[in-house]
């Protein structure tokens, strides 16, 4: 045996030891069994690629030292002390458990008195946003997953720079990985006028592997502590004017903005380690309506998956109906069970997704769940000719959820997300109306037709479902 053969044999043994060791690590972490099996499968079938993927995307988020919950708690304690007078509000009796859950697992107190505009057109969102920014007097806080350097991106950037040069405090937070294509000079130009700019979890060596999987998917704007934006729309021309792009966003005025402000300041502190007294950013605001809301974040920083817990509870406690819109549908095992249970209990559960999403590898994985859900009585609608990017839930003419979180593993477990939970009949009826209007552009998936698709499609769907927890 020559040296070359010996060398290759040693490399092979080391590689096999790495594969076995990684599998043992996956098993020892006591993850969700489905996720564990998915990682084991990819490590066995595609060992080289599997090792690489696990290194970057597979490490246990709950044990990452670079994501420390202490940063969150410190500023939440400070911020929400200012809202204490609003924390004794009585929630609608049917949602008292949900309100308590979100208080306990996310420190998200209910806040009353906000006016809410539900926006379904990008033109309206950006028209209102630009006007509100122009009128800013004290501060503009902006946080986006995607901020493109196209027409609308440049226009918003110009206003941010203008307001900063006028003495308005402007803080701009963006996701590092999602905006890799944006050159540094785009942000440097903002800094020259006084805009404070930071990326969220800057991904670079040597901690590249421990951060690249955890994206800040939030879309938040707070202006003068009195006007706020939250929802599914990033900053880009497609969100503004693409007729085939369907999204939902909120413009909030009033006390509910304080909830958004607390979350932004938390993220800013996390990203920059920069702390300042929060009082000036929570101006006293009069109650304008009977609206009650909670601003809730989710992410890999705590012991619970907040948004998943809330979705399961909503599903299991609905009395009449739940209508869901999401661009990606890859339910966890617990969510799948709660949806089936509610549907079998004669709750009218409807899911609306795109007939074709912008992620072709996700579609067959999503389709693999359809048959079991249809058999339980759930109804599924695919919107035709459009990409549905809205992330909404409406239930029982009282509860609405609008935010950044998709119905998938990534949003529930890995991404930093933010949702607005509203207990308001008027808003719920508006969201219900929007859902029913969108249904006119949908094709309903019927069980008797769905089961007739080819065996080849079924095989591909079943195979892709194995990787759903990793998508």
For the annotated catalytic residues, the residue numbers are 217, 219, 224, 389, 391, 396
Beta carbons within 8 Å of 413's beta carbon, 6+ residues apart: 61, 300, 305, 308, 332
Residues 229/251, Cβ–Cβ less than 8 Å: yes
Residue that the structure tokens 């996700």 belong to: 362
**416 closest CA partner among 102, 197, 143, 63:** 143
Give the integer Cα–Cα distance in Å for 45 and 128: 51
Pairing of strands 379-383, 387-388: unpaired
Q: What radius of gyration, in Å, describes the C-alpha atoms of the chain? A: 23
Count other C-beta atoms under 10 Å from residue 340's C-beta: 20
Residue 205: strand, helix, or coil: coil
Give the integer Cα–Cα distance in Å for 172 and 313: 34
Residues 259/108, Cβ–Cβ less than 8 Å: yes
Give the integer Cα–Cα distance in Å for 333 and 34: 8
Give the integer Cα–Cα distance in Å for 209 and 381: 38
**346 closest CA partner among 320, 379, 372, 384:** 320
Count other C-beta atoms under 10 Å from residue 395's C-beta: 26
Beta carbons within 8 Å of 11's beta carbon, 6+ residues apart: none
**175 closest CA partner among 233, 218, 223, 236:** 218
- The distance of Cα 447 from the centroid of its chain, to the nearest Å, equals 30
27-54: buried (b, 16+ CB within 10 Å) or exposed (e) per residue?
Answer: eeeebeeebbebbeebbeeeeeebbebb
Residue that the structure tokens 């949900």 belong to: 98
Give the integer Cα–Cα distance in Å for 445 and 384: 12
């Amino acid at each position: 045996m020559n040296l070359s053969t010996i060398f290759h044999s040693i490399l092979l043994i080391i590689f096999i030891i790495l594969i076995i060791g990684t599998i043992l690590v996956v098993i020892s972490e006591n993850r969700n069994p489905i996720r564990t099996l998915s990682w084991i499968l990819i490590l066995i079938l595609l060992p080289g690629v599997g090792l690489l993927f696990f290194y970057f995307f597979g490490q246990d988020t709950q044990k990452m030292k670079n994501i420390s919950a202490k940063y969150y708690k410190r500023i939440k304690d400070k911020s929400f002390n200012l809202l204490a007078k609003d924390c004794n509000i009585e929630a609608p009796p049917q949602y008292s458990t949900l309100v308590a859950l979100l208080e306990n697992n996310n420190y998200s107190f209910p806040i009353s008195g906000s006016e809410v505009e539900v926006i379904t057109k990008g033109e309206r969102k950006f028209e209102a946003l630009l006007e509100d920014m122009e009128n800013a007097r004290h501060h503009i806080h902006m946080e986006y997953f995607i901020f493109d350097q196209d027409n609308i991106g440049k226009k918003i950037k110009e206003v941010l720079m203008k307001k900063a040069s006028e003495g308005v405090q402007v803080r701009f937070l963006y996701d590092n990985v999602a905006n890799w294509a944006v050159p540094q000079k785009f942000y440097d130009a903002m800094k020259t006028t006084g805009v404070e700019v930071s990326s969220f979890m800057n991904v670079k060596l040597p901690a590249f592997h421990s951060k690249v999987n955890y994206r800040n998917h939030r879309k938040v704007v707070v202006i003068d502590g009195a006007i706020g934006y939250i929802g599914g729309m990033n900053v880009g021309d497609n969100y503004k004017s693409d007729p085939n792009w369907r999204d939902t966003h909120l413009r909030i005025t009033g006390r509910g903005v304080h909830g958004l402000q607390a979350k932004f300041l938390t993220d800013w502190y996390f990203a920059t380690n920069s702390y300042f007294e929060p009082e000036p950013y929570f101006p006293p605001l009069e109650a304008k309506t009977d609206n009650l809301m909670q601003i809730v974040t989710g992410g890999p920083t705590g012991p619970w998956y907040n948004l998943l817990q809330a979705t399961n509870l909503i599903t299991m406690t609905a009395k009449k109906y739940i209508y869901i819109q999401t661009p990606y549908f890859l339910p966890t095992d617990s969510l799948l069970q709660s949806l089936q249970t509610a549907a079998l209990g004669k709750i009218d559960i409807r899911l609306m997704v795109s007939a074709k999403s912008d992620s072709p590898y996700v579609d067959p994985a999503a389709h693999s769940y359809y048959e079991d859900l249809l058999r339980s009585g759930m109804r599924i609608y695919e919107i035709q000719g459009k990409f549905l990017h809205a992330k909404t839930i409406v239930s029982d003419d009282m509860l609405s959820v609008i935010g950044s979180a998709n119905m998938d593993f990534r949003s529930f477990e890995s991404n930093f997300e933010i949702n607005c939970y509203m207990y308001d009949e008027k808003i719920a009826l508006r969201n219900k109306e929007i859902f029913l209007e969108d249904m006119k552009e949908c094709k309903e998936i019927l069980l008797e037709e769905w089961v007739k698709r080819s065996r080849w499609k079924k095989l591909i769907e079943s195979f892709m479902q194995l990787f759903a927890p990793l998508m």
